[in-house]
A and B are shown apart, each in its own frame.
Chain A
Amino acid sequence: MAQFPRYFTIWQKLGLTGVKLTAWLVLLFLMAPILVIIPLSFNAEPYFTFTEGMLAFDPDAYSLKWYQEILAEDKWMLAIKNSFYIGIMATIIATVLGTTAAIGLTRSEMPFQRMIMALLLSPMIVPLIITAAGMFFFYTQLDIAGSYLGVILAHAALGTPFVVITVNAALSGFDYSLVRASLGMGAKPVYTFFKVIMPLIRPGVISGALFAFVTSFDEVIVVLFLAGPEQRTIPRQMFSGLREEINPTILAVATLLVIISGLLLLTMEYLRARSEKMRTG
């Protein structure tokens, strides 16, 4: 802990220490629930709790069998495959549409900017249960409920607001005279887009794409309403697992997901550091 300034009274020192202690406790509250499932996933017994043996660090009380179970069970393998397939397809659609829209939206010539922005961001705000119910009604009429196409389109719609926000932020410091310079020197618009605009907004586009992917990867409610048994994703499988037969396979899956989110977080932090560097230097 840092030294307190000399003029601080004892009460000020105590108060400040109290605030710091509270902050640390809150951090513990944030992290502990996530960390606790990691050792539990190596439980040799089919329980969600620490056994005597685990607390005594008896190696026999730990096992990898729940991880083997994931590999052995078709439903989990299908769910993993589906999650990545649906997530990647939805991310591609959301990123392409979101990036182009953000480029148009940041132009001062764009009419009804505020209204359109509010509309484009609304999939993020409307409760998912409402979105899912509406999509169930409408997609059934279009005959794409219970198909990959339906789930992918739905998840792409849910992911676009994040892309619009991040690309918008990346474009806020963008100097459009660069585009004019490029076009003025005879570059084709498509060439200008990929060689001038894209390199400058890439961190924003990638972080938007990551957000869109996580949104799809994490989404359950729309999948619950729209997907057939063929399109079950990891969260969907976890949801029914938690409702029907609780067993530590779910904890093993959860541990793997924590590792994935850790990797995503590191990527995001790296991107942010890079975009900050780009802006200042």
Chain B
Amino acid sequence: MSNPELTPDEIRQANRNRRRAKLLAIFFVLPLLGFIFVTFVAPIGTMLYRSFYHPTVSELVPETLAQLDKWSESSGELPPPDALNTFAVELKTLAKDRLSGKLAEEINRALPGSSSLIKSTARRVSRTDTAELQSRGNEILFDAHKKWQQVEVWRAIKKSGSVVTADFYLTALDLEHSPSGEIVQRGTQIYIDLYWKSLKIAFYITVLTAIIGFPLAWYLANAPTRVANTLMIFVLLPFWTSLLVRTTSWIALLQTNGVVNSTLMSLHIIDEPLEMLYTQFATVIAMTHILLPFMVLPLYSVMKGIDPSYFRAALSLGAKPIPAFVRIYMPMTVPGLSAGALLVFIISIGYYITPALVGGTEGQMISNIIAFHMQSSNNWELAAALGSLLLLLITLLYWLYDRLVGISNLKLG
């Protein structure tokens, strides 16, 4: 669109102004962008990196691995004696630095049962002279344990030594390498089952919040303003109350001799207390309570904008109330329902605190096993791989949310 009234100079000036405004806008956003990069994006990146980059073994026995590089593990023969001698020497150094246990733990992951082999041999070589290890380390190893004559052990060492590995993803998907190198399913499914269970629990919670949130949102949207505003406080107070407080309440309610059980018993509905705490039921009910406001608030704001005359028109044109409700009113609530459902689903799939406190073992979700590998078993790489898969799932849902609802339409309170 060219305007004949403008001189080239004026056009240039206008373009310059636009560029300045653009730079100014970027200048305002940049500080936060930089901050989020350092404090949030870089940590997530580090986690993704940790899930396939694993230098521990290659830092522990670098020389041995360099020598094993020339050895072909499919030959069926043992590595050359030089490599074995080098390993014996490096094992002695590790034993002296108290790092042989770390090596044992790492190799044990590739070949279960090799932990004790490495630990006992480490004690043995630490008492042997280094010069002797250099010359006849292989014999000393064979002497320490006959397992050192097996090719599998050396295969396991070479395999754990690779710096970039997909093994943690395989473990996270319940897969493993068979001895012949193919990828096969593990005998017991742990993590896939846990992902399914998390999806299932998140689905139950989403459905439950929708079922009980719908009538409440409808009532709030159609009640007189003053009543609605007062009742809204009952929705918002739980929303603003600390998550830990709400989880504490559920512990007090669901305990063996808690409020629910003692009420039911004093009413003679049950004779013996029900075991409700530390079950999957406890996780679902507590999380439904915690996440209900995330369903009610978007539903309410959509229902508030629905003109009641459509429904009335349907009725006066002869529709029965229930079909009219289902076919006229319900479709208009879909934006709120989908926004609420996606939000509840996204939040619940990665929940940690409530399942950890009220879920027992059967109410645990994928986050809990990630925390377990971070804090108790110290298998950080596996935790990172499990986390990366969860992140992938969340990213897909987030993208869907952005498509359907629009991330900038997210409203609070």
Binds A, one of B22-30, B122-130, B147-155: B22-30
Q: Which of B30, B247, B402 contacts A118 (CB 8 A)?
A: B402
Residue of A nearest to B353 (CB): A220
Q: How far is the CA of A123 from the CA of B350 in the complex (A)?
A: 13
Our pick among A105, A135, A220 for the contact of B244 (Cβ within 8 Å) is A220
Residue from the list A36, A47, A49, A101 in contact with B28, Cβ < 8 A? A101
Contact, CB under 8 Å: A134 / B212: no
Chain A min CB distance to B95 (Å): 27
CA A242 – CA B248 in complex, angstroms? 8
- Complex contact B42–A120 (CB within 8 A): no
In the complex, what residues of B have CB within 8 A of residue A262's CB? 237, 240
Interface residue A68 (Cβ < 8 Å from any Cβ of B): no
The reply to whether A121 and B231 contact each other, CB–CB distance below 8 Å, is: no
Known pairs A118-B402, A130-B350, A133-B384; A125 contacts B394 (CB<8 A): yes
At the interface, yes or no: B75 with Cβ under 8 Å from chain A?
A: no
- Complex contact B237–A121 (CB within 8 A): no
The answer to whether A139 and B43 touch across the interface, beta carbons within 8 angstroms, is yes
**Which residues 273-308 of B have a CB within 8 angstroms of A?**
289, 292-293
Contact A110-B22, Cβ < 8 Å, known A31-B238, A129-B350: yes
Classify chain B's interface size. 35 or more
Q: Say which one of B44-52, B61-69, B86-94, B107-115 lies at the interface with A.
A: B44-52
Chain A positions 159-200 with a Cβ under 8 Å from a chain B Cβ:
160, 162, 164-166, 168-169
Among A26, A125, A127, A154, residue most surrounded by chain B Cβ atoms (within 10 Å): A127
Give which listed residue, A20, A111, A138, contacts B22 with CB less than 8 A: A111
B252 at the interface (CB under 8 A from A): yes
Over the window 119-163 of chain A, the binary record of Cβ atoms lying under 8 Å from chain B Cβ atoms (1 yes, 0 no) is 111110111111101111111010000000000011011001010
What separation, in Å, do the CA atoms of A164 and B31 have in the docked complex? 13
Q: Tell whether, in the assembled complex, residue B18 and residue A254 are in contact, meaning their CB atoms are under 8 Å apart.
A: no
Q: Considering the complex, which residues of chain A in the window 82-135 have a beta carbon less than 8 Å from any beta carbon of chain B? A: 93, 97-98, 100-101, 103-105, 107, 109-111, 114, 116-123, 125-131, 133-135
Q: Are A160 and B36 in contact (CB under 8 A)?
A: yes
A269 to B229 Cα, complex, angstroms: 10
Interchain CA distance A39-B357 in the complex, whole Å = 22
User: Which residue of B236, B252, B321, B387 is within 8 Å of A251 (Cβ)?
Assistant: B252
Residue in B closest to A166 when the chains form the complex, CB atoms: B412
Select which of B28, B50, B234 is within 8 A of A137 by beta carbon.
B50
Set of chain A residues within 8 Å of B408, measured between Cβ atoms: 114, 117, 168
A120 to B29, CA, bound (A): 10
- In the complex, which residues of chain B have a beta carbon less than 8 angstroms from the beta carbon of A120? 32-33, 36
Could you mark each residue 341-364 of chain B with 1 if its beta carbon is under 8 Å from any beta carbon of chain A, else 0? 000001001111100110000000
Contact residues in A for B26 (Cβ distance below 8 Å): 104, 110-111
B60 contacts chain A at the CB level, 8 A cutoff: no
Contacts of B45 in A (CB 8 A): 134, 138
**Docked-complex contact B371 and A129, CB < 8 angstroms:** yes
Complex interface bits, B5-29 against A, C-beta within 8 A gives 1, otherwise 0: 0000000000000100110111111
A22 to B218, CA, bound (A): 11
Asked whether B413 lies within 8 Å of A272 as measured between CB atoms, the reply is yes
Determine whether the beta carbon of B215 is less than 8 Å from that of A123: no
B356 contact set on A, CB distance < 8 A: 243
Docked complex Cα distance between A27 and B237 (Å): 11
Q: Give the distance to chain B from A62, nearest Cβ to Cβ, in Å.
A: 16
**Within the complex, which residue of A98, A107, A211 is in contact with B412, where a contact is CB–CB below 8 Å?**
A211
**A48 and B241 form a contact (CB under 8 A):** no
B225 contacts the other chain (Cβ, under 8 Å)?
no
Complex Cα gap A137–B40 (Å):
12
Question: Of A30, A104, A138, A166, which is within 8 A of B25 by CB?
Answer: A104
B39 on interface, CB distance cutoff 8 Å: yes
Question: What residues of chain B lie closer than 8 Å to A221, measured between beta carbons?
Answer: 352-353, 371
Cross-chain contact A137 with B47 (CB below 8 angstroms): yes
Do the beta carbons of B292 and A30 come within 8 Å of each other?
yes
The answer for the CA separation of A138 and B384 in the assembled complex, in Å, is 12
- 16 interchain pairs (CB within 8 A)? A26-B212, A30-B289, A30-B293, A33-B249, A104-B25, A105-B25, A107-B21, A109-B25, A118-B407, A122-B398, A133-B383, A153-B39, A162-B412, A165-B410, A221-B352, A242-B248
Closest 9 pairs between A and B when the two form their complex, measured CB to CB: A127-B350, A104-B28, A134-B43, A23-B219, A101-B32, A134-B47, A33-B249, A138-B43, A104-B29
Which B residues have a C-beta under 8 Å from some C-beta of A? 18, 21-22, 24-33, 35-36, 39-47, 50, 212-213, 215-216, 218-220, 224, 231, 233-238, 240-253, 255, 257-259, 262, 289, 292-293, 321, 346, 349-353, 356-357, 367, 370-371, 374, 380, 383-384, 387, 390-391, 394, 398, 402, 407-408, 410-413
8 further contact pairs, Cβ within 8 A, besides A130-B47, A269-B236: A20-B219, A33-B253, A34-B249, A93-B35, A130-B350, A165-B411, A168-B408, A207-B413
